[in-house]
Structure 1
Amino acid sequence: MNEEYHRKVSEFKKKLKSYENYPKPGILFWDIFAALSDGPTCKLLQSIIMEVVKTKFPDVQAVIGLESRGFLFSFSLAAELGIGCIPARKKGKLPGEVISYKYDLEYGSDILEIQKDVIRPGLKCLIVDDLIATGGSITAAAKLLQSCGAQVVGCLVVMEIEAIKGKDNIPENIPVHSLIQL
């Protein structure tokens, strides 16, 4: 990415806030909502995300938004690209026939689901979320999509907590692009 891209990312990063000991002691929580409460910052982030997608994932056919903050980016990105937007949600939140994948977290386990009839074999999907920590939800979404015959062309996150090394837990054949490394 070019110098202008890095300038924009740096400008956006200044708008983020962090909270110590939230939601529990020992956790440093990075809050994207502080940045998104400002209209020009929303436009800035959208332009950064679009630049990344057009450069790194030009043939994407559907954007997969991970619950819940991934939804913030998936719809606007899909709408601007003129492609589908598909939510990946926690168990029991989607109607109709769903496919599920159970995965481990640093503090337990969870189940991610996608509506089965919205995924077709060969569909080129981009997974989006606000943050990568352990990589568990991204990996779960990728495995769900692949079990339906879809192709995961990559993953795009706004923030990456590098010390946790979650990117190392995502299958090597899935390129991951994080805008900001924390």
Structure 2
Amino acid sequence: MVEDEELKASVRTIPDYPKPGIMFRDITTLLGNARAFRRAVDQLVHPYAGGKIDKVAGIEARGFILGGAVAHQLSAGFVPIRKKGKLPHQTVRMAYALEYGTDEMEIHVDAIRRGEKVILVDDLIATGGTAEGAVKLLRQIGAEVVAACFIIDLPDLGGADRLRAMDVPVRTLMAFGGH
């Protein structure tokens, strides 16, 4: 990871949100800055440009924004991974670990054909529970998960390493220490 200091400066930090001791990394400021948004998408896309990527899967909700832009740049389809009960067609569901408990995510059963090359996209990787669940869900319906891409890594929480342990290459644009 080669950090772009100007890009990193476009991320707002909100102390003690959603609870005391957490430094929330808010990408809405990056998204609202046309130059930073374009640069982030270009940097996420760069290693895969010219390759054969069939689909980009985005995790609800910021992963939809980034994933749609990445899919457009790669001329790939976009697949939403949503919270339980939000998709209208037949779905496949996967439980995943949260900091305190579990939740479930879904994908349409016909969103990806077996063997399609897929990149998973979200804004941030922290503990990795959601991303790990998404990778398992994608693999369950036959996707070849080529990579997982995030703007921000919180390496102290180990999520990127969890994905690498699943043989998923991880691309991040910047890292912040702590939580």
Q: Same fold (TM over 0.5)?
A: yes
> How far 1:173 sits from its partner (Å)?
0.9
Picking from 145, 165, 171, the partner of 1:177 is 171
Matched, 1:91 2:84: yes
Q: Structure 2 regions of 5+ residues with no counterpart?
A: none
Paired position in structure 1 for 2:15: 20
- Equivalent pair of 2:48/2:74 in contact (CA under 8 Å): no
Answer whether contact 2:153 2:172 (CA < 8 A) is retained.
yes
Q: Aligned partner of 1:168: which letter?
A: D
In structure 1, the partner of 2:154 is: 161
Aligned residue for 2:132, secondary structure, equals helix
Pairing 1:112-151 to 2, within 5 Å after superposition: 112-151=105-144
Q: Which residue of 2 aligns with 1:73?
A: 66
**Residue of structure 1 aligned with 2:95, choices 89, 102, 106:** 102
SS of 1:118's equivalent in the other structure is: coil
**Deviation >4 Å, runs of 4+:** none
TM-score after normalising by structure 2: 0.92
Q: How many residues align?
A: 175
Q: Is the 8 A contact 2:40 2:173 kept in 1?
A: no
- SS class of match (2:21): coil
Q: CA RMSD in A?
A: 1.6
Flag the structure with more relative contact order, 1 or 2, with Cα contacts below 8 A and sequence separation at least 6.
2
Unpaired segments of 5 or more residues in structure 1? none
TM-score, L = length of structure 1: 0.90
CA distance in structure 2 between the aligned counterparts of 1:172 and 1:102, rounded to whole angstroms: 17
Q: Deviations over 1:142-174 (max 9, x none)?
A: 111111111111100000001111123224311
Which residue identity lines up with residue 123 of structure 2 in the other structure? D
The whole-number CA distance in structure 2 between the counterparts of 1:19 and 1:148 is: 37
Measured in 2, the distance between the counterparts of 1:96 and 1:26 equals 40
Which position in structure 2 is the counterpart of 1:10?
5
